[in-house]
């Protein structure tokens, strides 16, 4: 038995915080200890080997038949080569080099490539395209911010160390975060985060846009001829606006409460303009609470490579972008695609029923380390290595910071990283197309 090995400063590949201070203990090629990680991080590292897809498999009738990797790749390549309008979807839980292979494949096939941001912070990107991106680095938040507002986000649940690493932690200019930094939450319901905040403001569901616009008016010194907006009294709104204007450095973190509710990108657009207005008086920044650990990276690699952050159609041989047209849910709802290559995502668990029905009569190729709901109905399942645990790669944190994730342990026997499987599929697609 070998001596336990301790690895310091490991980057956790779970959520968009990409905590880079994890201490792992490795024994006999297995991760047996995770210090500093949150519950999600512990589960990700310590249960890396559980619930895995162990062999490539092809669905025959209602049974999965285990096949060799070459056979699975051949079947996947034939499905893609024969498809008229293939969709490649996912990308947020894998590293940037795998993304590169996906764009190459999408361009070659004349297909559509979309990432999971179309059902999370896609509207944030549309808002940003309208009004700009007043983003800060997370370290800047910790060092300078004296007022932090979470709007429609529940970090204690979804990004468990976001608060303790960047908001309740001391920074260069904020020595005592408890007394020198205020943490407020604006949401439609009480949450675990709102319970520990210095102030929680509950608004009526679906009124985010109205509340933001009311705050904008108050920040600009206008009078509003109503007694409340979105269930919040005008006096309270005036207090919030005054506190925002008098902060030395404010940061607005926002979650799916803005992007998935009525208004969507208009909510984000309005919030950006509120932050712009506040910058006439003091310094404010804002940042989306990105969920999957490399969904911010998926938007970046897509923009570098295709010119657009998501919803990219190559059917004319050059990239075109249109959310609502080339986004996965819309394509499936309209029954427009005739094959799906799913990479590191789980559309069956996360799409509305009418979109899932668009998958029932088309072949699905599923690349993922673990069994998920999409693997239950996929035509071809190919297990891959877990990026950041079983293979290395580059990923992007929620504030855009690129980080290198390491290979910690070996993947299960004959399991390859996403990028290598995708390269094999690409090579085979070329061969099949030439035939």
Partner 1 sequence: MGKTSRDYTEAVSVCELDRTTMSVLEIGDGDLVSLETIDGEVVVRARLGRGLEPGMGFIPAGPYANVIISADTWESGMPDFKGVRAKVFKAAGSRVFSIKELVAKMLEE
- Site residues for partner 1 per CB under 8 A: 43, 47, 50-51, 114, 118-119, 122-123, 126, 188-191, 194, 202, 204-206, 256-257, 259-262, 264-265, 310-311, 323-325, 327-330, 332-333, 346, 348-357, 359-360, 370-373, 376-377
Strand partners, 57: 66, 381
Min CB(34)–partner 1 separation in Å:
16
Closest distance between partner 1 and the C-beta of residue 360, in Å? Answer: 4
Distance (Å, whole) CA 387 – CA 372? 17
Q: Is 285 helix (H, G, I), strand (E, B) or coil?
A: strand
Closest among 39, 40, 41, 32 to 10, alpha carbons compared: 41
Task: Report the C-alpha gap between 333 and 48 in whole angstroms.
Answer: 34
Whether the CB-CB separation of 364 and 379 falls below 8 Å is answered with yes
Which one, 10 or 355, has the nearer CB to partner 1? Answer: 355
Return the number of the residue (278 or 378) whose C-beta is nearest partner 1.
378
Q: How far apart are CA 399 and CA 389, in angstroms?
A: 22
Strands 5-10 and 22-27: antiparallel
Long-range contacts of 409-412 (CB under 8 A, 24+ apart): 409/26, 409/29, 409/30, 409/31, 409/48, 410/29, 411/385, 411/386, 412/49, 412/52, 412/54, 412/383
Q: CB of 249 within 8 A of CB of 279?
A: no
- 311 HSE (CA, 13 A, CB side): 21
Closest approach of partner 1 to the CB of residue 354, in Å = 4
The whole-angstrom separation of Cα 323 and Cα 321 is 7
d(CA 349, CA 180): 42
| Shortest spacing between CB 110 and partner 1, in angstroms | 21
Smaller CB distance to partner 1: residue 125 or 424? 125
Please give the DSSP secondary-structure letter assigned to residue 120.
T
Q: How far is CA 98 from CA 39, 193, 290, 394, in A?
A: 27, 35, 19, 10
Between 226 and 354, CB nearer to partner 1 = 354
CB nearer partner 1, residue 143 or residue 303: 303
Nearest distance in Å: CB 48, partner 1:
12
- Measured from the CB atom, is 329 or 429 closer to partner 1? 329
- Residue 214 has φ and ψ, to the nearest 5°, of -65, -40
Least distance between partner 1 and beta carbon 311 (Å):
6
Q: Is 183 helix (H, G, I), strand (E, B) or coil?
A: strand
Closest distance of CB 76 from partner 1, Å: 21
User: Whole-number minimum distance, CB 190 to partner 1, in Å?
Assistant: 2
Count Cβ neighbours within 10 Å for each residue of 5-27 and write b for 16 or more, e otherwise: eeeeebbbbbbbbbbeebebebe
Q: Is the CB of 356 or the CB of 382 nearer to partner 1?
A: 356
In the complex with partner 1, the residue whose CB is nearer, 345 or 380, is 345
Instruction: Considering the complex, state which of residue 11 and residue 332 has its C-beta at the smaller distance from partner 1.
Output: 332
Q: How far apart are alpha carbons 56 and 65 in whole angstroms?
A: 9
* Location of structure tokens 């062999």: 55
CB of 370 to partner 1, least distance (A): 6
CB of residue 202 to partner 1, shortest distance in Å: 8
Query: What minimum distance in Å lies between the beta carbon of 66 and partner 1?
Result: 18
Residue number with CB closer to partner 1 (48 or 274): 48
Residue number, 301 or 375, with CB nearest to partner 1: 375
Name the token pair of 3.
């001596």
């Amino acid at each position: 038995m070998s001596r336990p090995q301790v690895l310091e400063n490991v980057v956790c590949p779970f959520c968009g915080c990409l905590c880079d201070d994890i201490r792992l203990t490795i024994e006999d090629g297995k991760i047996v200890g995770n210090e500093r990680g949150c519950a999600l991080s512990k589960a990700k590292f310590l249960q890396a080997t559980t619930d895995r897809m162990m062999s490539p498999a092809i669905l025959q009738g209602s049974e999965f038949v285990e096949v060799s990797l070459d056979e699975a790749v051949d079947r996947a390549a034939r499905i893609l080569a024969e498809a008229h309008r293939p969709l490649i979807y996912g990308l947020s839980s894998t590293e940037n080099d795998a993304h590169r292979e996906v764009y190459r494949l999408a361009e070659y096939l004349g297909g559509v490539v979309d990432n999971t941001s179309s059902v999370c912070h896609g509207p944030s990107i549309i808002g940003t395209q309208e009004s700009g991106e007043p983003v800060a680095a997370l370290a800047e938040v910790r060092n300078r911010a004296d007022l932090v507002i979470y709007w429609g986000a529940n970090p204690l649940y979804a990004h468990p160390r976001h608060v303790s690493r960047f908001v309740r932690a001391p920074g260069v200019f904020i020595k005592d975060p408890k007394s020198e930094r205020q943490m407020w939450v604006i949401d439609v319901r009480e949450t675990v985060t709102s319970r520990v905040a210095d102030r929680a403001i509950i608004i009526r569901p679906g009124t985010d846009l109205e509340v933001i616009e009311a705050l904008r008016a108050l920040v600009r010194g206008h009078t509003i001829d109503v007694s409340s907006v979105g269930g919040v009294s005008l006096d309270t709104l005036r207090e919030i606006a005054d506190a925002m204007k008098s902060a030395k450095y404010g940061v607005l973190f926002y979650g799916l409460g803005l992007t998935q509710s009525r208004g969507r990108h208009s909510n984000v657009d309005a919030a950006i303009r509120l932050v712009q207005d506040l910058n006439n008086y003091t310094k404010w920044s804002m940042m989306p609470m990105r969920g999957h650990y490399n969904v911010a990276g998926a938007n970046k690699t897509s923009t570098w490579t295709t010119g657009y952050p998501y919803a990219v159609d190559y059917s004319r041989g050059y990239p075109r972008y249109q959310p609502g047209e080339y986004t996965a849910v819309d394509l499936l709802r309209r029954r427009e695609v005739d094959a799906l290559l799913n990479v590191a995502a789980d559309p069956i668990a996360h799409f509305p029923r009418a979109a899932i029905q668009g998958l029932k009569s088309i072949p699905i190729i599923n690349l993922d380390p673990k069994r998920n709901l999409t693997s239950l109905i996929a035509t071809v399942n190919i297990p891959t290595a877990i990026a950041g645990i079983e293979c290395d790669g580059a990923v992007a944190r929620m504030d855009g910071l690129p980080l290198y994730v390491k290979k910690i342990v070996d993947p299960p026997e004959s399991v390859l990283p996403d990028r290598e499987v995708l390269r094999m599929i690409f090579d085979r697609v070329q061969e099949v197309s030439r035939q």
